[in-house]
């Protein structure tokens, strides 16, 4: 299990922009790295729009927001365009990053077990260390929690 103080696992993923992004690209800035299950679903849309609506406050704290899900880049582009999301979305179709951050886990719905993304947010400091982890995130009020922790 990852914990505060650990070095954040690096990654190399394709962003919605088509460029390859890695954690080291953000040295010197805090990273709000949030993992979500699926583009265009109700909870994920509310969470993304909440980050969108508070992006200026987050940026004032020298932080960037990066969203990660197993959806492909085409899905991310549609999601980003539809909701005018002003931050990077990374596609982890291989689920390597999801596994590195321990957010790809067994879930259960209506008695059915399946593998999926557990909604989790990491605050990573300017040197690439995990500062805080929010596990099993509840969407309502989450961005306020993030802002008070930055």
Residue numbers annotated as active site = 44
pLDDT in tens, 103-132: 999 998 888 999 999 999 999 999 999 999
Residue extents of the structural domains in the chain: 26-149
Contact 55, 118 (CB under 8 A): no
Q: Give the chain's mean pLDDT.
A: 95
> Would the pLDDT of 32 be above 90?
yes
Q: Averaged over 133-143, what is the pLDDT?
A: 91
Q: How far is CA 32 from CA 23, 67, 90, 114, in A?
A: 11, 8, 13, 27
**Higher-confidence residue: 139 or 91?**
91
Which fold, 26-149? Glutaredoxin (3.40.30)
pLDDT in tens, 66-110: 999 999 999 999 999 999 999 999 999 999 999 999 999 999 888
What's the pLDDT at 108? 87
Alpha-carbon Rg for the chain, nearest whole angstrom, is: 14
What's the pLDDT at 109? 82
3-state secondary structure 15-41: ECCCCEEEHHHHCCCEEEEEECCCCCC
> Would the pLDDT of 1 be above 90?
no
């Amino acid at each position: 299990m990852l914990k505060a103080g650990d070095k954040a696992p690096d990654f190399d993923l394709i962003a919605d922009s088509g460029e390859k992004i890695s954690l080291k690209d953000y040295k010197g800035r805090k990273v709000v790295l949030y993992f979500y299950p699926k583009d265009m679903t109700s909870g994920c849309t509310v969470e993304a729009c909440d980050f969108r609506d508070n992006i200026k406050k987050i940026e004032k704290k020298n932080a960037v927001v990066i969203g990660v899900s197993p959806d492909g880049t085409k899905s991310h582009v549609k999601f980003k365009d539809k909701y005018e999301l002003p931050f990077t979305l990374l596609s982890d179709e291989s689920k390597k990053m999801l596994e590195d951050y321990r957010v790809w886990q067994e879930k259960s719905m209506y008695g059915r077990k399946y593998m999926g993304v557990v909604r989790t947010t990491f605050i990573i400091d300017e040197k690439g260390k995990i500062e805080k982890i929010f596990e099993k995130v509840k969407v309502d009020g989450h961005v306020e929690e993030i802002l008070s922790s930055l």
